[in-house]
Structure 1
Amino acid sequence: MNAVMDQSQILSRLATSLAIGLLVGLERGWRTRDEQDHQRAAGFRTFALSGLLGGVTGTVALQTNGLVIGFAFLGYSAAFAAFHLLEAKAERNVSVTSVVAGMLTFLLGTMSVAGDPRIAIGCAVAMTGLLALREWLHSRIASLTWQELRAVLILLAMSFLLLPILPNRTVDPWNSVNLYEIWLLAILTAAISFVGYVAVRILGDRLGIVMTAIAGGLASSTVATLTFAGLIRAHPGSFKLLSAGILIAGAVMMARVAVVAIALNRALFGPLVLPLASAAAILATGAIILLASNTERHMPKLLIHNPLAFGTALKSAAFIGTVTLVAEITRQAFGSTGVLIVAALSGVADVDAVTISMARLGGGYLELNTAARAIIIAVCINTISKAAISGWAGGRDTGILVGGISVVAIVAGLAATTWQILG
């Protein structure tokens, strides 16, 4: 940022620094509203002035020397901490949150003038949110189980320790396997599984089936199908409700495939969106009809024991790497036909591997239309596979219901593909 600003710019940024202080002060003042005046070290006005003081310090620093910010911050922090120390001794309160909040308010006020005010405002909103959610966050942490804490630590280690050291390039002679991209997918799979677990735990069994279906479609619609089909055996009265869960997972899976493929290769938008959207719409419509016609009052108990599904994520990553390698070798040996065969075979168990490998190869080593058809074939085969699983694990009626709606969805998707080709 330029050191020279006109008067209107200075006033605008000082107003921003004051607004930051007012925002934080509103939360801090509300929290200490029951305390008597002059019995608290800092409240609404103090935090508002802290933000403005930071803005004035930034203004002075721009016109003189940046060291002004450091000296002013040290002086402010010392005075603020000293008054809180007196308050802590009187109330026997050892919390340092207000001290940190005051220091951060000062610095964000300074940043709003001497730096990027948009970043300062964003940080101020985030800080105020954390301060306001104190009780909720503490209760959530207190209710964490060891499994959940371990899941969070594993996810953080996967994301910030292992991912950065992996090479973001192909490492095999066929120029197809990128370890960074494969591990990133493993992280996403594990994260989605954990988000689904948290959603079910927070929302409870009432919305548990729908949320589990959505989370299952994001993580593994095949696993979700097995779960719901098994519940149908134990809860035959919830046949329609659980069948709807299977269809929702399938529809979400199709939406996920489209998003992942297009995110990796924007050129796939045209050939993929209409077929997958048509098939997903049929599955979603069938699920809505089943949910509306369900009369079961008692929801089956959902028990999810693994919040992260780390093993599943690793197996998925290994499978994706294998399919990507096999697809490239097959393409080099047999051309486009071989790639479609690989897509059909791998689609029996998983669609992510085909989606990612085809998105990476499409438009480069492989024709774009061939890549899109391979993804659509994998989705169709996977949908048929899940219908068969429904019948095997959930009984004949489940297989007929889920299978019938799935066939209609596949026909709709293939019809859309044919229309695009002929059009």
Structure 2
Amino acid sequence: MYELGTVELIQRLSIALAIGLLIGLERGWNTRDEHEGERAAGLRTHGLAALLGGVWGAIAEHFGGGGAIALAIAFALFGAVIGFFRYRETVRLNTFGATTLVAVLLAFALGAFAVVGDQQAAAAAAVATTTLLALKQLLHGWVQRLTWPELRSGLLLLAMSFILPPVLPDHPIDRWGAINPFELWLLTVLIGVLSFAGYVAVKIVGYRRGVAVAGMAGGLASSTAATVAMSRLVADYPRQVNVLTAGAIFANAVMGPRVLTVLGLVNGDLAMRLAAPLIAIGLVYTLGGALLMMRRASDGAGANETLAIRNPLDLPAVLKFSALLATVMVLSRIATRFAGSKGVFALAALSGIADVDAISLALARQGVGEIGLESAAVAILLAIVSNTIVKAGIGWFIGGWAMGLRFTLVSVLALGAGVAALMTAPAFGL
């Protein structure tokens, strides 16, 4: 037991009152159209509830262990009284809901915690509480749009992140020392998180909010898949070739920053070496997409189409990427051991046909030590070039010559800017 000084006690009670007013502000605004006396708890009630909790917290501190029991009894009695008033309100309105009751109880509890515990933690909890209350419509709308495969994917991501890693061996298990199951799975989770974020962005934004935003969001999930989707739309709506090609270009504009993010989380030195070329590639793609957007056709055909991106966290997709990453890591180690940087360049060009992330992670994790920073940077750019050639081919064969020509032209300029940046970056100390 310790005694609070007068100044500190007043400060803590003030924080308790502020916590209650913060929560009560949202509750009061939400029920602002109701007449006085028709709601169980508003701005003043939440403020007073938190202040009451703070006072009982001060009492608990003064009387030690017995005070803690008194605080628990006070909380129970207060909850019973508020619960009774909330019950009468729901009967009168013929509704159901426990949110307001929980909010008042949280105000009381956080007010007490502000006095007897960590003030910053109590304030942070109050902000989180108010945020959850204010996001009611958004959260309910998101739950209504949530599909079972998406929920399953979210649970899979949690299992991947917290359940499986502790049971995986944290040491190489192959003869070349390339595959560490623990690190391999963490890298798989990293890509899964980035891809799922892009997938969620596509679901939230959609095509109707703008091809540019939807294309960039789709690029976070899979720039190849987004290019295929835009190419199919061009085939159906050829008069929209400029805006839809711009969508594919915007999807590729985020490929550089995406790779840079992955490298930054795994190998900061390699990320710094590639920062200039990857940013240059992204900027040229963005500029090219913006110029095509300015030339968009007046015909609105296709404006209601959906940018369809496959859920990247389906279990088969996760296992396929993990297998691809493991294969690339083994081949990368073998290539560097027997063929040096030339072998890695060939491997990067081949693996880039299917995926850029796998070779980037493999080189960031183990390739730099074998072939050096410069060779690893060149290999990753080769993978990006290879992947871009594949997407240009998709544009030509699915979207037609008009899309293929536009996409290829912008891609050549973007890759040229990246190569130039790689060659000149050392002059700037990168």
TM-score, normalization by structure 1: 0.88
In structure 2, relative to structure 1, the CA distance for the partners of 1:16 and 1:162 (3 Å cut) is same
Instruction: Measure, in 2, the Cα distance between the counterparts of 1:407 and 1:327.
Output: 27
Which letter does structure 2 place at the counterpart of 1:400?
A: L
- Once the two structures are superposed, residues 303-346 of structure 1 have per-residue CA deviations (whole angstroms, 9 ceiling, x without a partner) of 53744552434322221121112111222233333222222221
**What's the % identity of the aligned pairs?**
40
Does 2:356 align with 1:351? yes
- Once the two structures are superposed, residues 260-316 of structure 1 have per-residue CA deviations (whole angstroms, 9 ceiling, x without a partner) of 102211112431111111222111111110011112431521153744552434322
Contact 1:248 1:287 in 2 (8 A): yes
Q: Once structures 1 and 2 are overlaid, which stretch shifts more, 381-390 or 63-72? A: 63-72
Any gaps of 5 or more consecutive residues in structure 2?
A: none
Equivalent in the alignment of 2:385:
380
Instruction: Measure, in 2, the Cα distance between the counterparts of 1:199 and 1:245.
Output: 15
After TM superposition, list the pairs within 5 Å mapping 1:38-53 onto structure 2.
Answer: 38-53=37-52
Instruction: Measure, in 1, the Cα distance between the counterparts of 2:269 and 2:344.
Output: 19
Q: Once structures 1 and 2 are overlaid, which stretch shifts more, 94-103 or 4-13? A: 4-13
Equivalent in the alignment of 1:420:
425
Equivalent in the alignment of 1:77:
76
Which letter does structure 1 place at the counterpart of 2:285?
A: L
* Aligned residues between the structures: 422
Equivalent in the alignment of 1:13:
12
- Once the two structures are superposed, residues 126-146 of structure 1 have per-residue CA deviations (whole angstroms, 9 ceiling, x without a partner) of 211222232443343334444
Equivalent in the alignment of 2:29:
30
In structure 2, relative to structure 1, the CA distance for the partners of 1:68 and 1:140 (3 Å cut) is same
SS at 1:206 equivalent = helix
Instruction: Measure, in 1, the Cα distance between the counterparts of 2:8 and 2:287.
Output: 54
Q: CA deviation at 1:37?
A: 4.3
Q: CA deviation at 1:422?
A: 7.0
Instruction: Measure, in 2, the Cα distance between the counterparts of 1:403 and 1:54.
Output: 66
Q: CA deviation at 1:77?
A: 3.0
In structure 2, relative to structure 1, the CA distance for the partners of 1:353 and 1:148 (3 Å cut) is closer
Which letter does structure 1 place at the counterpart of 2:224?
A: T
Q: Once structures 1 and 2 are overlaid, which stretch shifts more, 64-73 or 339-348? A: 64-73
In structure 2, relative to structure 1, the CA distance for the partners of 1:133 and 1:282 (3 Å cut) is closer
Equivalent in the alignment of 1:304:
308
In structure 2, relative to structure 1, the CA distance for the partners of 1:4 and 1:184 (3 Å cut) is farther
Equivalent in the alignment of 2:273:
271
Q: Once structures 1 and 2 are overlaid, which stretch shifts more, 301-310 or 411-420? A: 301-310
Instruction: Measure, in 1, the Cα distance between the counterparts of 2:6 and 2:373.
Output: 56
Alignment RMSD:
2.9
Any gaps of 5 or more consecutive residues in structure 1?
A: none
Instruction: Measure, in 2, the Cα distance between the counterparts of 1:83 and 1:17.
Output: 19
Instruction: Give every structure 1 segment of 4 or more consecutive aligned residues whose post-TM-superposition deviation is greater than 6 Å.
Output: none
After TM superposition, list the pairs within 5 Å mapping 1:15-414 onto structure 2.
Answer: 15-65=14-64, 68-69=67-68, 71-89=70-88, 91-92=90-91, 93-300=95-302, 301-302=305-306, 304=308, 306-308=310-312, 310=314, 311-361=316-366, 364-414=369-419
Which letter does structure 2 place at the counterpart of 1:302?
A: T
- Once the two structures are superposed, residues 105-157 of structure 1 have per-residue CA deviations (whole angstroms, 9 ceiling, x without a partner) of 22222333333322222221121122223244334333444444444444444
Instruction: Measure, in 2, the Cα distance between the counterparts of 1:235 and 1:121.
Output: 53
In structure 2, relative to structure 1, the CA distance for the partners of 1:137 and 1:5 (3 Å cut) is same
Contact 2:57 2:71 in 1 (8 A): no
Contact 1:282 1:409 in 2 (8 A): yes
In structure 2, relative to structure 1, the CA distance for the partners of 1:139 and 1:217 (3 Å cut) is closer
Contact 2:221 2:312 in 1 (8 A): no
Q: Once structures 1 and 2 are overlaid, which stretch shifts more, 383-392 or 81-90? A: 81-90
Which letter does structure 2 place at the counterpart of 1:25?
A: G
Instruction: Measure, in 1, the Cα distance between the counterparts of 2:401 and 2:306.
Output: 23
TM-score, normalization by structure 2: 0.87
